[in-house]
Amino acid sequence: MVKPEQPAFDAAAFLMSAGLGRKIVHLAPRQPFFSQGDPADSIFYLQKGRAKVTVVSQAGKEATITLLSAGDFVGEGALVAVPGLRLSTAIAITACTVLKITREEMARVMYEEHDFSDLFLKFLLARSMRIQADIVDQLFNSSEKRLARILLLMAEFGKPGEPEQYIPQISQETLAEMIGTTRSRVSFFMNRFRKLGFIEYNGRIRVHQSLLNVVLHDRLPNEDS
């Protein structure tokens, strides 16, 4: 008797639906996926919305280390051989829909489904490259150029499809933390970008493609003046 052929594994469908060892969770703005010090027992896949990852030092100082958008995993540290505690906090910036996958189910599907493990490996490589780019940016670029890059990343320039017209609401304090400068400097640069027509800033920030000039070139229009 011929056994019925098993349907091919669909990684996209797996990440967009609930099932054994995974469930869909809806988060409101400012609601955490997980907090620093929680048990690292699951991985999250961001289906919709925007989020950020922060860390708090022993002295109580908080820093934002990365921003997340749809298609990102977070909490992948739960896959280490010996699960421990979360080293960071992931918080929703906008309303988010996420798939929460248990550590055991994530390990199983990565072992059994090569298409999924390939997808996850590509994500890890992309994140590693992003971290390296962030380090280079921090070491060698001016704070003005770092701010321009963060705004472009939040608007998803360089990703497939059209860039976002408006980026999620984010405070100047958070932007200052991410680029390693003060809130007053961020305010100065934002006003300058607006005067040059690179952004519109009236409650929400709209990023124009012309802001790429700040990242791709070392000089800005009217810089000498």
CA distances to 4, 24, 53, 76, 83 from 15, rounded to whole Å, are 25, 10, 21, 15, 22
Domain assignments of the chain as residue spans, ordered by start: 11-135, 142-216
Residue 160, pLDDT above cutoff 80? no
Residue 1, pLDDT above cutoff 80? no
What confidence tier does 224 reach under pLDDT thresholds 50, 70, 90? very low
Percent of the chain with pLDDT strictly greater than 70: 92
Contact in structure between 24 and 86 (CB atoms under 8 Å): no
pLDDT score at 157: 82
Residue 83, pLDDT above cutoff 80? no
Tokens of 1: 């008797």
Instruction: Please identify, in words, the CATH class of the domain defined by 142-216.
Output: mainly alpha
* pLDDT tens for each residue of 103-157: 999 999 999 999 999 999 999 999 999 889 888 888 888 899 999 999 998 888 8
What confidence tier does 70 reach under pLDDT thresholds 50, 70, 90? very high
Contact in structure between 98 and 47 (CB atoms under 8 Å): yes
Phi, psi of 10, deg, nearest 5: -115, 105
Contact in structure between 39 and 83 (CB atoms under 8 Å): yes
What confidence tier does 225 reach under pLDDT thresholds 50, 70, 90? very low
Contact in structure between 95 and 28 (CB atoms under 8 Å): yes
Give the predicted TM-score (pTM) of the model.
Answer: 0.82
SS3 of residue 52 by DSSP: strand
pLDDT score at 171: 87
CA distance 101 to 22: 4
Contact in structure between 68 and 8 (CB atoms under 8 Å): no
In sign, the C-alpha dihedral spanning 183, 185, 189, 191 is positive
Phi, psi of 196, deg, nearest 5: -85, -5
SS3 of residue 26 by DSSP: strand
pLDDT score at 214: 80
Instruction: Please identify, in words, the CATH class of the domain defined by 11-135.
Output: mainly beta
pLDDT score at 105: 96
